[in-house]
Structure 1
Amino acid sequence: MKKLTFKHKLGYAMGDLGGCMTFAIVGSFLLPYYTEVVGISAAAVATLFLLARIWDAINDPMMGALLDKRYSKTKDSRGKFRPYLLTGAPLVALTAVLAFFVPGGLSQGGKLIWVYVTYIAYGMTYTFVNIPYGSLLSGMASTAEEKASLSSARGFGAMIGNVLPLVVFPIIIASSTENPQTGYFIGIIGAALVGMAFHLLAYKNTEERISHDTSSSNPVRLTDIIEVVKRNRAFLGISIAGSAAMLSQTLVMTLSVYYFRDNLNALSLMGLSMMVTLPLTLVVLASMPKIVKKIGMEKTAIYSTVLGMGISSILFLFPDNVWLFLAVRATGGTLISVVMFLQWGMIGDAIDYNHYILDKRTEGAIYGSFNFSRRLGQAIGSFFGALSIGLIGYAPSAAVQSATVLGGIRLMTLGAPIAGGLIVLIAIKYVWNIDNELRDKMIEKRNLVMSES
């Protein structure tokens, strides 16, 4: 088997960097754009977010299953996963731009139709790229250390892809106060073009090193995921953990604009928050493969989550100290997010485990269904964030929000990471069932099958 090189790791990092360039902006700024610029109610936006995630419940697993089925028939010489990066890159860029460009002069009904079509279209094109990209790790990494290394690379790409637009985008908006639509439009065009470029670079610099099972004696079926859900505990464990982590992260992302602007009176420091987190995340990502090699992915996830929850709880004592918030969010938030980096390697383990117990890898179906669990968490976070802003009485036109509104924003922003972390701990401790001994057996079986193919 060819060696996993630095070029492969860098190429894999570029994939999530490209995706996050638009995904971060959609997650953090689409709600205020719809409610404050376009003039759509928070309740209507919450409904849109919920319905879009319901569609994802069908779209993500279906995309994964079709990915497996298509390759079993075509055996594309470029690989099973990489071609989708090439084809989907311009589609993601186009739909992201359209989501932030609601034409003037539309009626309220016309606006709703536009945002429904463009937002759901963005989600579908993102899925078209993201499911194959996420599945690609299982085709590149063999050992736990390689999976952790690619997970770190993806985490690094995601970090840059999230930090860069969330630093630059607020500056562009702040400089376009007389015409906010112009600021949003210029910002999303820039992010979309950069994201597309990195998707194409990911296609060019990655390689599928592990053969895919396409045996006619055990053919791929669209219903394979049913057996996965029934018998693959590792899949269930990481799906629960991934959903909880995504829920808390999405809720915090949704409310961050409001917390910085209304509670801390420091919207300009939102970008600084990302920059403070950057060096700590770099340290975590650089050290993660070595830590995983020493104590395993499971213990790494558990220890970091517990420590991050403890640090994050300090903010309940001093909730409105902006500098303490920046420091605690950087340290506690980074530690809690370790499982968000490790999950890519852990779903790779779940794919190997599926091959171990069912003689099928079905990478696309497993990753697609795992991504649905994350989207489910995202849906709940987006829906609850958008709905709660309306329920607590947030007034978009008010210069200063009431104490009740500020208290609600504070409770949700500070409490979400701790609640999500608790669910992550339960899922990894009591549902996930892979340890180092079982992992060695899985690798042994996979290598035997590859040597015979």
Structure 2
Amino acid sequence: MSERMRPLSGREKAGYGIGDFASNLYLGFFGLFLLYYYTDIYGISAAAAATIMLATRVVDAITDPIMGAIADRTRTKWGRYRPYLLFVSVPFGIMGYLTLAGPDGSETFKIVYALVTYMLVMMLYTAINLPYSALLGVISPRSEERTKATVYRFVMASLGNLFVALTATALVREFGNGDDLVGMRWTMGIFATIAVVSFLVCFATTRERIEAIPQKIDLKRDLGTMIKDGVWPIVAIGCLLLIVGISLRGSTAVFYFKYLTDYGDQPLLWAFDYFSVNLALSFVGVALGSLAVAWLRKRWTKRELMIGSGLLNAVLLVIFYFVPPALYWVITSIAVASGFLFGIAITAIFAIYTDVAEFSEWKNHRQVTALVIAASIFSMKAGGALGGAIPGFALGSVGFVPNVAQPGEVQNMILVVYTFVPAAAFLLSGVVFLKYPLDRTRVCQIEADLNKRRGNLAPA
């Protein structure tokens, strides 16, 4: 067996995975707390905060595919994608801190500052996370090895979210001493530092095993071909809906616990309050779901996992709506089960992305791994933006005023956005994958054909 065809070592799979631990220190914190930070701490209206999140996606629609095309054509001694982990990590860390370091001023000033910093941090997120995600497509020519690396990735991503869930509120209290604005700055600074170190570890422990084919940039042609082939749009729409669902849950959770329950910040387990424990256990569920994919794949295809997890998650969240918030361990158990199903789906869908990239190369004789990932990352960021913006617009529509007891209409809106709306998103995501055409047999044939084409076929 050639060196390139050998199974990935545990060290390399873990090293690859730590890159998403770093990413989710940002995404986890932003997804859980950014809308709350803008409205309840920094003093921006809910509608303005929602508009900021959506406006940033307009810029992403331009920068993501451009970054994908650039990464696909990058040529260095470290490869195409790994150099971005090395050179973008520090600027990304600095901008992450600045996003939550907003100075005081008029509301107009705050809105402009929030818009500019959030836009810049997400552009840098594109510049580092897109090549990181594309690295999965060249870390091994074997689909099963890429799936294993994907499992490591999303276990580590779940650990990043778990770390945020367990420590964020405690760090804000510890460093803020009653000033949540100061506490948020310190907390994001700590997370940013850890993220920079993690990206550097990812760079040092991974390799690129599929060599680049010389080709000119033809962004319009490559995007057009991806859409015309019909496979990528299915995955992108399914992914967008999946991320809308989980982002709605994340961005609304803090409002649910603050305004619909009586738990406050009283400790439940050591120094961890009810909200932190609920979030932490839900992310444990995500990690277990990611781990379960390797076993589940022995019986079900990735397509079947996407369909089944979407349907079951929708059912769970409809049930959640009718459970009184006072039944803490019931709502927490449902949150864990929902997280488990999301862990299955997000792990399966990223393994699917690399299959889509290979399908495009197989059919069109052009390597567009990063471009496929770029378009897919955009669908994820668009889903995250919608998941963060919808609660903002919904709360604004019913007269939400932060830091006061909420009337019944506002409480019901929070509950609906926390349950029924993500349930619909998860259900639709599963339905979309009914049209996904790449079954196991076809993926194996594509892999074999590409290995012959690349000269990487293992000896008999």
| TM-score over 0.5 for the pair | yes
Is it true that 1:189 corresponds to 2:189 in the alignment?
yes
Structure 2 counterpart of 1:429: 434
Q: Distance in 2 between matches of 1:174 and 1:195?
A: 21
User: Could you say what secondary structure the match of 2:419 adopts?
Assistant: helix
Which segment is superposed worse, 95-104 or 109-118? 109-118
Tell me if structure 2 keeps the 8 A contact 1:19–1:195. yes
Offset of residue 279 of structure 1: 4.3
Structure 2 counterpart of 1:134: 133
Structure 2 counterpart of 1:349: 355
Structure 2 counterpart of 1:419: 424
Residues 10-409 of structure 1 mapped to structure 2, 5 A cutoff: 10-69=14-73, 71=74, 75-104=75-104, 106-175=105-174, 176=176, 178-214=178-214, 219-267=216-264, 268-320=273-325, 321-398=327-404, 400-409=405-414
Specify whether residues 332 and 34 from structure 1 end up closer, same or farther in structure 2 by C-alpha distance, changes over 3 A only.
closer
User: Could you say what secondary structure the match of 2:403 adopts?
Assistant: coil
Offset of residue 452 of structure 1: 7.9
Q: What is the RMSD computed on CA atoms of the aligned residues? A: 1.9
Write the deviation string for residues 247-305 of structure 1: whole angstroms up to 9, x where unpaired.
11111111110001111233531211133235444433333123214432112222233
Specify whether residues 31 and 307 from structure 1 end up closer, same or farther in structure 2 by C-alpha distance, changes over 3 A only.
closer
Q: Distance in 2 between matches of 1:151 and 1:440?
A: 18
Tell me if structure 1 keeps the 8 A contact 2:284–2:336. no
Write the deviation string for residues 143-176 of structure 1: whole angstroms up to 9, x where unpaired.
3322221111111111011111122111223443
Write the deviation string for residues 210-251 of structure 1: whole angstroms up to 9, x where unpaired.
22222x5xx442223333333332211110111001111111
Give the letter for the 1:33 counterpart.
Y
Tell me if structure 1 keeps the 8 A contact 2:285–2:338. no
Offset of residue 375 of structure 1: 1.8
Tell me if structure 1 keeps the 8 A contact 2:72–2:367. no
Give the letter for the 2:280 counterpart.
M
Specify whether residues 394 and 180 from structure 1 end up closer, same or farther in structure 2 by C-alpha distance, changes over 3 A only.
same
User: Could you say what secondary structure the match of 1:361 adopts?
Assistant: coil
- Return the TM-score normalized by structure 2: 0.92
Q: Distance in 2 between matches of 1:194 and 1:425?
A: 35
Tell me if structure 1 keeps the 8 A contact 2:172–2:186. no
Identity of aligned residues (%): 22
Which segment is superposed worse, 163-172 or 297-306? 297-306
Tell me if structure 2 keeps the 8 A contact 1:96–1:188. yes
Q: Distance in 1 between matches of 2:23 and 2:420?
A: 28
User: Could you say what secondary structure the match of 1:223 adopts?
Assistant: helix
Q: Distance in 1 between matches of 2:140 and 2:279?
A: 30
Gaps of 5+ in 2: 265-272
Q: Distance in 2 between matches of 1:228 and 1:250?
A: 30
Offset of residue 6 of structure 1: 0.8
Give the letter for the 1:313 counterpart.
V
Gaps of 5+ in 1: none
Tell me if structure 2 keeps the 8 A contact 1:250–1:381. yes
User: Could you say what secondary structure the match of 2:329 adopts?
Assistant: helix
Tell me if structure 1 keeps the 8 A contact 2:158–2:284. no
Tell me if structure 1 keeps the 8 A contact 2:137–2:369. yes
User: Could you say what secondary structure the match of 2:232 adopts?
Assistant: helix
Tell me if structure 1 keeps the 8 A contact 2:49–2:392. yes
Structure 2 counterpart of 1:444: 448
Give the letter for the 2:52 counterpart.
L
Which segment is superposed worse, 186-195 or 303-312? 303-312
Give the letter for the 1:301 counterpart.
M
